[in-house]
């Protein structure tokens, strides 16, 4: 097995940003040193991982020098000051190419930063480079883009998952301590689970999507990928402008609902039992099965499909007409399908989405958190398109999206945190909170 | 020519509700007398007009007796206290059948009142009966419904226009002094212009559509039909809960923009010159031509079509599948067309609608009011489906919707007021105001 982890990781493997911040402020290290460590790790490992598609070497070092000078002069911009951060390549950066993973934008350089990048710069972060995105973020495998496939650091022959493929691989392998991703059906949580990082999809609208190339405007979210929940919380705080939860507010007696993944699709029994055990240990609470959830699943699935397809085609209609050959084949085929959704089906989907949000609010009258696996499988092989789960064959695409996309439709905050490994590959535990309870969820899970 | 007007009108022909209110309070007449006068007028003229599809004779008289007793005891519910009002039959009433003009609901009786009807009852109005609607309000001609066609009181062989066909005919002929209509592409203003009443489509969302059978949820409006602008304002006040504009606020120097109807389609030159002349006299102001408006027309038209079709089919998908034969043929054919709109086109239409609203807000930086004809033609014959305007043939449907639907797409308040007659048939002057300026528009036009 060709691997990077756990034997030859990058500098930031498992490193805590909270800890880095303390050391920066004690002068035990500098932002230039951190940035150089990131550049060295990228130089050594990125040829194996293909996580970064562009690195702003000189620009990042200049930002790091500025960060060091500012800190030395007492101008502390906050917890991300001087910390190297990677940005998914579907997010605009004025000082780097931004290809959206597509040949359509091979030479694109946006005039201004996305809102979330601007916020990071204001917070003193060092914007290191751009990470591989599945073409136009339209795919959960992370192996179809202008720049090819990202490789899973735990097994280079496996996919990272996507679409925030490079962001998860870069953090998992220790190339950077933090990365920004986007999530429309699971695109932060899927690669986080497959690569073993923390990935947080905030509540809908909690983080601005201005300057993020749209996939599906009613489902798109921006969020953090990190080694630790505390670090994800720091990044979320900067991205959203929301204050963290005061530490006293974590409730001791949580009502935890366990959602049976089989409501959605088959689940690898090893993953199921491991996630359930680890969740029980982590929260030291009983998990109560949520009954009847499977009744919502057909609506959740149909709503996602109608919203995502219609909105995605609305973004790409002219490109599909004028330059269809520039799309990667799978993405083009998916867009062709997407053109078929009827207007009235989309209208129904918007209505059903409102109903589902109400249903979830009702469910959360009985639970504080919902818990389930992030994925029913560990990382498939690169280019693999079918997979067997418990003797049943399913497309890799459907398997990867099966347990995450419900929380895009309902707009609820959902986090994937590492839950050990199965057969050497990472597994994710997914925790879902009521709408707008982002800071609380991060506090509880940390 | 078979006519009701102007020779044999009903009791309320041209009567002022403001005046009726004064006389009620002076004990010069009673609500029971007014209600009986309405019932008598309906008994005499409705066989010719087919404006009412249900009359709640006993219930209305009981309401009128209560209104008289309340007024006698000093409990005055406001300006509509004791006034008979007609309700379009696509609006739910708990005490009468509500067919939505369709065989699908031939025996339907809703359990509760629509919000707007409940407001009228609270305001002491006498809910007299239900007026003919084009089937499911899906048509501007008013001659296709479970109950057949409504007849224009100025020429019984002509259409009333629709879809609020019966409401406009009932007020125009003097069967009632006030009626409630709905307007998705012009359905209050079109029959008002063709029958010679005042018809007001408020700002989007100014009046609740709860309990109104949906045609197109992003375009549907509820509003008043009346003899006089002041009366329409009283009814709007009750429907919306908005206070009237204080009388001192009417500006003397108005900036009036004249929109050339030819931006949308051909206009009968007699209508154009008459409306322009009457608008100039009424406002005693110069009308300045709005330049470049024709550039917005393709987007206005395409947006209306995509929104209305997709939303309408979303309402009727199951009925179209299970009982297509119960639809009137034209409505069924239109729904078949409506099923074809693509989801991505609908998504684009929602985006374009937002852009168009912004464009209109910009235009209203230069004008206080926009003025134009309500319709390019006078009332076509019943069942007529093509019409010639200035030598060019156009479908009656397109002609009727051509000048009104833009204000549904943009959600702006728009009123049609009588502007004399051409060849014996009424003509409407349309006045459009900035968003949310409903009370101001009514005040200025009165």
Q: In sequence order, what DSSP letters do the residues of B314-342 get, joined into one string?
A: HHHHHHHHH-GGGS-HHHHHHHHHHTT-B
Active-site residue, A163 included? yes
Residue A307 lies in a domain: no
Does pLDDT of B83 surpass 70? Answer: yes
CB of B140 closer than 8 Å to CB of B133: no
CA distance B436 to chain A (A): 26
Helix (H) or strand (E) holding B370: strand B369-373
Q: How confident is the model at residue B245 (pLDDT cuts 50, 70, 90)?
A: confident
Overall average pLDDT of the B383-412 stretch: 97
Q: Which candidate in A187, A192, A405, A416 is catalytic? A: A187
Put simply, the answer to whether B344 touches A341 (Cβ < 8 Å) is yes
Please give the structure tokens belonging to residue B285: 């102001």
CB of B181 closer than 8 Å to CB of B412: no
CA distance B299 to chain A (A): 16
Residue A361 lies in a domain: no
> Between A and B, how many CB-CB pairs are < 8 A?
72
Query: Residue A251: its pLDDT value, please?
Result: 62
Q: Which of B313, B347, B348 sits opposite A344 (nearest CB)?
A: B313
Provide the CA A446 distance to its chain's centre, in angstroms: 18
Active-site residue, A88 included? yes
CB of A93 closer than 8 Å to CB of A110: yes
CA-based torsion, B382, B388, B390, B394: positive or negative: positive
Residue A317 lies in a domain: no
Query: Residue B250: its pLDDT value, please?
Result: 59
At A3, phi and psi to the nearest 5?
Answer: -135, 160
Active-site residue, A187 included? yes
Residues of chain A with pLDDT under 70: 1, 247-252
Put simply, the answer to whether A347 touches B314 (Cβ < 8 Å) is yes
Put simply, the answer to whether B313 touches A340 (Cβ < 8 Å) is no
Task: Give the separation between CA B30 and CA B23, rounded to whole angstroms.
Answer: 8
B180 lies in which domain range? 1-446
Q: Which residues of A touch B312 (CB under 8 A)?
A: 344
Q: Which of B368, B46, B91, B110 is nearest to B214 (CA)?
A: B91
Put simply, the answer to whether B347 touches A306 (Cβ < 8 Å) is no
Q: Which residues of B touch A339 (CB under 8 A)?
A: 342, 344
Q: How confident is the model at residue B51 (pLDDT cuts 50, 70, 90)?
A: very high
Q: Which of A343, A348, A351, A354 to mutate to test the interface with B (most CBs of B within 10 A)?
A: A343
CB of A89 closer than 8 Å to CB of A130: yes
Please give the structure tokens belonging to residue B18: 């403001």
- Angle between the B438-445 and B229-240 helix axes, to the nearest 10 degrees? 160
At B55, phi and psi to the nearest 5?
Answer: -125, 130
Q: Which of B217, B342, B348 sits opposite A342 (nearest CB)?
A: B342
User: What's chain A's length in residues?
Assistant: 446
Q: How confident is the model at residue B244 (pLDDT cuts 50, 70, 90)?
A: confident
Q: pLDDT digits over B180-206, tens only?
A: 999 999 999 999 999 999 999 999 999
Please give the structure tokens belonging to residue B76: 């005055």
A191: domain CATH number?
3.90.1300.10
Put simply, the answer to whether A343 touches B317 (Cβ < 8 Å) is no
Please give the structure tokens belonging to residue A119: 């916020």
CB of B21 closer than 8 Å to CB of B83: yes
Does pLDDT of B63 surpass 90? Answer: yes
The chain A residue lying nearest B349, using CA atoms, is: A314
Please give the structure tokens belonging to residue B294: 């024709």
Q: How confident is the model at residue B131 (pLDDT cuts 50, 70, 90)?
A: very high
Put simply, the answer to whether A344 touches B306 (Cβ < 8 Å) is no
Q: pLDDT digits over B282-292, tens only?
A: 999 899 999 99
Q: Which candidate in A88, A130, A145, A201 is catalytic? A: A88
Report chain B's C-alpha Rg in angstroms: 20
Query: Residue A2: its pLDDT value, please?
Result: 85
CA distance A364 to chain B (A): 28
Task: Give the separation between CA A186 and CA A160, rounded to whole angstroms.
Answer: 13
The angle subtended at Cα A328 by Cα A324 and Cα A331, nearest 5°, is 85
At B113, phi and psi to the nearest 5?
Answer: -70, 150
Residue A199 lies in a domain: yes
Q: Which residues pair with A386 in a beta bridge?
A: A395
Q: Which residues pair with B178 in a beta bridge?
A: B85, B226
Residue A352 lies in a domain: no
CA distance A292 to chain B (A): 26
Q: How confident is the model at residue B2 (pLDDT cuts 50, 70, 90)?
A: confident
Put simply, the answer to whether A313 touches B338 (Cβ < 8 Å) is no
Q: Which residues of B touch A348 (CB under 8 A)?
A: 314, 317
Put simply, the answer to whether B342 touches A341 (Cβ < 8 Å) is yes
What Å distances lie between residue A319 and A335, A346, A440, CA to CA? 11, 22, 42
Question: Which residues of B lie inside 8 Å of A (Cβ-Cβ)?
Answer: 217, 306, 309-314, 317, 338-348, 351
Q: Quote the number of domains for chain A.
A: 1
- Work out whether strand A369-373 and strand A425-432 pair parallel, antiparallel, or are unpaired: antiparallel
Query: Residue A339: its pLDDT value, please?
Result: 98
Q: Which candidate in B31, B164, B187, B203 is catalytic? A: B187
Does pLDDT of B74 surpass 80? Answer: yes
Residue A329 lies in a domain: no
Q: How confident is the model at residue B437 (pLDDT cuts 50, 70, 90)?
A: very high
Query: Residue A244: its pLDDT value, please?
Result: 80
Put simply, the answer to whether B314 touches A351 (Cβ < 8 Å) is yes
Please give the structure tokens belonging to residue B228: 């006089």
Put simply, the answer to whether A346 touches B348 (Cβ < 8 Å) is no
Query: Residue A273: its pLDDT value, please?
Result: 97
Q: Which candidate in B88, B130, B164, B338 is catalytic? A: B88
């Amino acid at each position: 097995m060709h691997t990077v982890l756990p034997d030859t990781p990058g500098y930031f493997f498992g490193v805590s940003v909270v800890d880095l911040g303390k050391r920066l402020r004690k002068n035990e290290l500098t932002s230039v040193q951190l940035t150089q460590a990131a550049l060295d790790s990228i130089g050594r490992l990125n040829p194996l991982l293909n996580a970064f598609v562009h690195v702003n070497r000189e620009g990042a070092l200049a930002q790091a020098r500025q960060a060091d000078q500012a800190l030395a002069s007492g101008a502390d911009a906050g917890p991300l000051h001087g910390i190297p951060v990677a940005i998914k390549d579907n997010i605009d950066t004025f000082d780097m190419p931004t290809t959206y993973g597509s040949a359509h934008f091979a030479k694109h350089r946006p005039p201004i930063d996305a809102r979330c990048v601007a916020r990071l710069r204001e917070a003193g972060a060092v914007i290191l480079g751009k990470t591989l995105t599945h073409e136009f973020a339209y795919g959960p495998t992370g192996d179809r883009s202008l720049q090819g496939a990202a490789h899973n650091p735990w097994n280079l022959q496996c996919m990272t998952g996507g679409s925030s493929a490079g962001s998860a691989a870069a953090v998992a392998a220790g190339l950077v301590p933090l990365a920004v991703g986007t999530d429309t059906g699971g695109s932060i949580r899927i690669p986080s689970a497959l690569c073993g990082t923390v990935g947080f999809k905030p509540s809908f609208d909690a983080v601005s999507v201005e300057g993020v190339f749209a996939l599906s405007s009613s489902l798109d979210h921006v969020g953090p990928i990190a080694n630790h929940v505390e670090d994800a919380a720091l990044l979320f705080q900067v991205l959203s402008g929301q204050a963290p939860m005061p530490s006293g507010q974590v409730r001791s007696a949580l009502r935890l609902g366990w959602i049976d993944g089989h409501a959605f699709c088959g689940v690898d029994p090893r993953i199921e039992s491991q996630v359930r055990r680890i969740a029980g240990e982590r929260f030291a609470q009983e998990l109560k099965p949520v009954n009847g959830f499977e009744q919502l699943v057909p609506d959740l699935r149909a709503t996602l499909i109608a919203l995502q397809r219609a909105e995605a085609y609305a973004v790409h209609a002219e490109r599909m007409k004028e330059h269809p050959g520039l799309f990667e084949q799978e993405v083009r085929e998916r867009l062709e399908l997407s053109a078929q959704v009827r207007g009235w089906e989309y209208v129904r989907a918007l209505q059903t989405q409102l109903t589902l949000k109400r249903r979830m609010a009702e469910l959360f009258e009985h639970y504080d958190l919902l818990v389930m696996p992030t994925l029913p499988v560990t990382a498939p092989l690169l280019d693999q398109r079918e997979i067997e789960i418990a003797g049943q064959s399913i497309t890799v695409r459907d398997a990867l999206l099966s347990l995450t996309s419900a929380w895009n439709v309902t707009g609820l905050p959902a986090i994937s945190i590492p839950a050990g490994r199965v057969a050497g590959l990472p597994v994710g535990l997914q925790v879902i909170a009521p709408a707008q309870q982002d800071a609380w969820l991060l506090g509880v899970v940390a």
